[in-house]
Structure 1
Amino acid sequence: MTADRQPLIECEHCASIYRRHQLEPGETANCARCGAILWRYSGLTLSNWLALAIAALIIFGVANAYPVAAMSVQGMTQQASLLDAISITWRQGHWVVAVMTGMAGFALPLLQLTVLLWVLGPLSQGREPAGFRVAMRLLGFLRPWCMIPVFLLGVLVAVVKLAGMAAVSPGIGLGAFGILTILLTMLGRLSPHVVWRYAESVGVVPVHVPQAAPDQILTGCHVCGQVQALAREADEEAEHHCVRCDALVHYRKPDHLARTWALLLAAVVFYIPANVLPVMKVSSVLGDSAHTILGGVVELWEMGSWDIALIVFIASVAVPLTKLLALILLLLTEQWRSTTNLRPRTRLYQMVEFIGQWSMLDVFVVILLAALADFQGLMEISAGAGAAAFGVVVILTMLSAMSFDLRRSWDLEGQSEIESAPVEGRRQPAPGAGQEMG
């Protein structure tokens, strides 16, 4: 393929445009401007990805069919699966917590696997899947909200917290969730852009290579990654439709500062009750007690589980506070029209995106404790108002990060241009199963 017919790719962080070429095993293509990873070499075929998705769906069924742990008190044993924990939380009247954990731990991961199977099956046979464009938009929406790894860590924390109170043993479901976490992490490499590249490679979708006229500017579709030319003088908030997938395309996210500030300030408001109100209430024959997030950390520390206490402190205290402060910094530096330290600010934004979902740890811990310690008349644990507020903080901060448009900060350095020079390449160890296709 000649250079002028090579597909184009846009860096999602700084909006630089590159020609996408084939990589050698172990190579990664990085943006020469901001340093973000553009694409990786992958040795996996569509059939390999399909096999991984099928295996993940089978393990998903096992993980939810069997208990993750069992607790024994005075001859009574209580087993709990994820679905048991959600059901008991709902029965106790904590519907917000039950819905949040049910969606993040069960419904959305199941839907994500279903979508992947829907598209990978036909693509592996060289056919375009029915509803391919809609499925890719749905996949892009689902990926950030699937929190199986967070739930797995929540199980481990819950087992440690209960170990000092009663005999607690892991169940088959715990091992299955461990395997599922590995498989979903691998499948997490299949972003909508990557799936569209596989569809290009088997020839079921077209590849457009636009040539920008002097009065046009190039931008990429957030759904399929197709780079296309838009009129330079057009309002950057005007609506356009992708030439390939028909998704709505904006040159930049409209009103991103207002939306990001609104969501962020709402998160700050909920952050106060999330830390002041109890996230967990315990009723037993010895009396009733309530625990805040910091109270739970102190309790773990006093039990001697300093390592678990540190994990909970990082996930439930340090991470949410870091996200709030980092987003405030990013917003202020853009409003001040600062062009300094753009690369470190890009790394900061990537960190905020990565740690977003891990703050849900304490919410999963609470519902598992409620399911395992469900001994009527002897002991009962239930979620507190702080758990619902904390879950809302997680959702609002994630939405706030998604609303922020880092490309506008890079725009202050000047308009992006098509760069034909090779991107930075750095040799990595032998490619793993989860690497993206170049």
Structure 2
Amino acid sequence: MTADRQPLIECEHCASIYRRHRLEPGETANCARCGAILWRYSGLTLSNWLALAIAALIVFGVANAYPVASMAVQGMTQQASLLDAISITWRQRHEVVAVMTGLAGFALPLLQLTVLLWVLGPLSRGSEPVAFRAAMRLLGVLRPWCMIPVFLLGVLVAVVKLAGMAAVSPGIGLGAFGLLTILLTMLGRLSPHVIWRYAETMEVVPVHVPRAKPDEVLTGCHVCGQVQALPRDAEEAEHHCVRCDALVHYRKPDHLARTWALLLAAVVFYIPANVLPVMKVSSVLGDSAHTILGGVVELWEMGSWDIALIVFIASVAVPLTKLLALILLLLTEQWRSTTNLRPRTRLYQMVEFIGQWSMLDVFVVILLAALADFQGLMEISAGAGAAAFGVVVILTMLSAMSFDLRRSWDLEGQSEIESAPVEGRRQPAPGAGQEMG
């Protein structure tokens, strides 16, 4: 492929445009401007990815068919799977918590694996899948909301919490969820952008290399990554991607207003999430209620300081860090600051990475409710704080998705980059890599 036909790629964080080159084993292409990773070398073929997706689907079935743990109290034994925990939570009339955990832990991961199999099967044979564009748009929506690793950590925390009250033993489902977490982490690198690059390399889809005219600017599609030329005055206008037909904006419209609105809503829900109990316990010894911090203190007093630290970080430190980090990013954007752009980019990447881990306590509560479901002896149920906390997680994730970091980089000489032709744009740093294999 000649140099002028090599596909273009946009850095999602600073909007710099590069030509995609072939990478050698072990190489990673980084943005020369903000330092973000653009793409990595992968030695896996589409057939390898297909095998991983099939294995993940099989393990997913095993993980949900068998209990993750069992609990024995006074001769009675209670086993619980993820589906049991969701069902019991619904039965206890905590529908909001049941729906959130059911979607994040079961329905959306299953749909994600189904979509991957739908597209990887035909692509591995060299043909374009049916409804390929719609499937890729759906995959892009699903990926941030699949929280199997968070549920796995929630199982471990729940087992430690109950170990001091009764005999608790792990089940087959726990090992299956551990293996599923590994497989999904590997498949996590197979983003819609990467799948489209495989399709280009195999010539299943055409390569479109735009050339911006003087009155046009280049920008990338957030779904498939296709770089395309848009009119210079298209900042707020809607256009459709030339490849996948998704809506394309040069920059996210009204990103500050949207981000502030979602963030302030998260702050409002953050108060009841920490004040109201996330878990209620009813037993022959009486009733009690536990807040998030109360649960951390209880674990610490039980001697499980390591688990207490994990819960404190995931359920207290992470949500607060996300809120403060987003507020800082919004204020620096409104103040039109161009200082410390690289550290601010790292901060935004951190907010995106830790987004889903705050759901830990919600998963812990529903699993405790399933394991300690001994009518007349002990019963654990979710509290109002669990629903509020889940809403905080969702709102902070949506807030981070609404923020457009590229606008901060626009203030730092972006107009000069946009006005140059493709050949004059920033190119990868020496050794930054050449097109993925």
Report deviation, 1:428. 21
Q: Give yes or no for contact 1:42–1:433 (8 Å, CA) kept in 2.
A: no
Residue 42 of structure 1 contacts residue 436 of structure 1 at CA under 8 Å; is this kept in 2? no
In the alignment, is the contact (CA less than 8 A) between 1:88 and 1:371 conserved in 2?
yes
Label 1:425 to 1:213 Cα distance change in 2 as closer, same or farther (>3 A): closer
TM-superposed CA distance for 1:415, in Å, is 2.4
C-alpha spacing 1:98/1:340, structure 2 compared with 1 (3 Å): same
Residues 97 and 387, structure 1, Cα contact 8 Å, conserved in 2? yes
C-alpha distance after superposition, 1:119-139 (max 9, x if no partner):
000000001000000000000
Q: CA deviation at 1:233?
A: 3.1
Report % sequence identity.
95
Aligned length: 437
- Seen in structure 2, the aligned counterparts of structure 1 residues 347 and 297 have a Cα distance that, compared at 3 Å, is same
Residues 112 and 434 of structure 1, relative CA distance in 2, 3 Å threshold = farther
Change (3 A) 1:229 1:290: same
Aligned to 1:287: 286
Residues 302 and 421 of structure 1, relative CA distance in 2, 3 Å threshold: farther
Tell me the CA shift for residue 414 of structure 1: 2.0
Q: Is the 8 A contact 1:30 1:424 kept in 2?
A: no
Q: What is the aligned-residue RMSD (CA, Å)?
A: 3.5
- Structure 1 residue 344 displacement after superposition: 0.2
DSSP-derived class of the 2:133 partner: helix
C-alpha contact (below 8 Å) 1:66/1:173 kept by paired residues: yes
Any idea what SS the aligned residue of 2:354 has?
Answer: helix
For 1:325 and 1:287, how far apart are their aligned partners in 2? 39
Distance 1:330 1:81, change over 3 A: same
Structure 1 residues 436 and 316: alpha-carbon distance in aligned structure 2, compared to 1, 3 A threshold: farther
Q: Deviations over 1:385-407 (max 9, x none)?
A: 00000000000000000000000
- What residue in structure 2 maps to residue 87 of structure 1? 87
Which residue in 2 is equivalent to 1:340?
339
SS of 2:424's partner is: strand
Residue range with higher mean Cα deviation, 169-178 or 236-245: 236-245
Question: Are 1:31 and 1:424, in contact at CA under 8 Å, matched by a contact in 2?
Answer: no
Separation of aligned partners in 1, 2:423 and 2:177: 37
**Structure 2 portions without partners, runs of 5+:** none
**C-alpha distance in 2 between matches for 1:430 and 1:300:** 49
Whether the 8 Å CA contact 1:30–1:423 is kept in 2: the answer is no
TM-score with structure 1 setting the length: 0.96
Check whether the contact 1:71–1:372 (CA below 8 A) recurs between aligned residues.
yes
Query: Which whole-Å deviations, capped at 9, do the CAs of 1:151-171 have from their partners, x for residues lacking one?
Result: 000000000000000000000
Aligned partners of 1:271 and 1:303: how far apart in 2? Answer: 27
**SS of match in other structure, 1:374:** coil
Partner of 1:322: 321
Q: Give the stretch that moved more between structures: 418-427 or 174-183.
A: 418-427
CA distance in structure 2 between the partners assigned to 1:19 and 1:433 by the alignment = 11
Greater than 3 Å deviation, 4+ residue runs: 416-438
The alpha-carbon distance between structure 1 residues 102 and 279, as it changes in their structure 2 partners (threshold 3 A), is: same
Q: Which sits farther off after the overlay, 126-135 or 426-435?
A: 426-435
User: Is the contact between residue 71 and residue 79 of structure 2 (CA under 8 Å) also seen in structure 1?
Assistant: yes
CA distance 1:426–1:332, shift in 2 (3 Å): closer
| CA-CA distance at 1:231 after TM superposition | 1.2
Does the aligned pair in 2 maintain the 1:126–1:204 contact within 8 Å?
yes
Segments of structure 1 that go 5 or more residues without pairing to the other structure are: none
Q: Return the offset for 1:416.
A: 5.9
Deviates more, 1:81-90 or 1:225-234: 225-234
**TM-score normalised by length of structure 2:** 0.96
How far off its partner does 1:427 sit?
21
The answer on 1:58 being equivalent to 2:85 is no
Q: Is the 8 A contact 1:28 1:428 kept in 2?
A: no
Which stretch of the first structure deviates more once superposed, 344-353 or 412-421?
412-421
In structure 2, do the counterparts of structure 1 residues 11 and 319 end up closer, same or farther at CA, with 3 Å as the change threshold?
same
Deviations 1:255-312 (A, max 9, x none): 0000000000000000000000000000000000000000000000000000000000
Decide whether aligned partners of structure 1 residues 290 and 428 sit closer, same or farther in structure 2, where only a CA change above 3 A counts.
Answer: farther
SS of equivalent residue, structure 2 residue 287? strand
Q: Secondary structure at the match of 2:394?
A: helix
Shift of 1:3: 1.6
Cα 1:196/1:302, change in 2 over 3 Å? same
Q: Secondary structure at the match of 1:288?
A: strand
- Following superposition, the deviation at residue 2 of structure 1 comes to 1.9
Q: Secondary structure at the match of 1:416?
A: helix
Q: Is the 8 A contact 2:315 2:360 kept in 1?
A: yes
